[in-house]
Amino acid sequence: MAPSAADVYDAACMRVTVQFYAQARERAGRESEQVDISSGANIAALWKGLLERYPGLASLDGGISFVVGRACADRATVLSEGDEVSLLPPVSGG
């Protein structure tokens, strides 16, 4: 039996959770979001999609840092199913 369209979609896609903080949270208008993205996509691809959906994030482009789970990441970091990606604008604690 040929795989259903849903099976093909599941194989080609994975789901990650994005956590937005501070300016990123305000500009996206949400604290978190589940995103379906191509299997094997990297952070650059995720970020590109987010910028298209939330153009207000564009001004954060240079200063944003990415963390996957607890580990520092960069745009080349390849994502896996179930990853939690935190978007961290420039920090100003203390």
Residues in touch with other proteins (CB under 8 A): 19, 21-23, 25, 63, 65, 67, 70, 72, 86, 88-94
Residues 6 or more apart from 28 whose CB is under 8 A from it?
20, 50, 54, 56, 57
Q: How far is the CB of 6 from other proteins (least distance, A)?
A: 34
Q: Which is nearer to other proteins, 35 or 68 (CB)?
A: 68
Q: How far is the CB of 46 from other proteins (least distance, A)?
A: 17
Q: Which is nearer to other proteins, 22 or 51 (CB)?
A: 22
Angle value at C-alpha 77, between 71 and 81, nearest 5 degrees = 80
- Element of type H or E holding 23: helix 22-28
Contact (CB, 8 A) for 80 and 68: no
Q: Which is nearer to other proteins, 4 or 93 (CB)?
A: 93
Q: How far is the CB of 29 from other proteins (least distance, A)?
A: 15
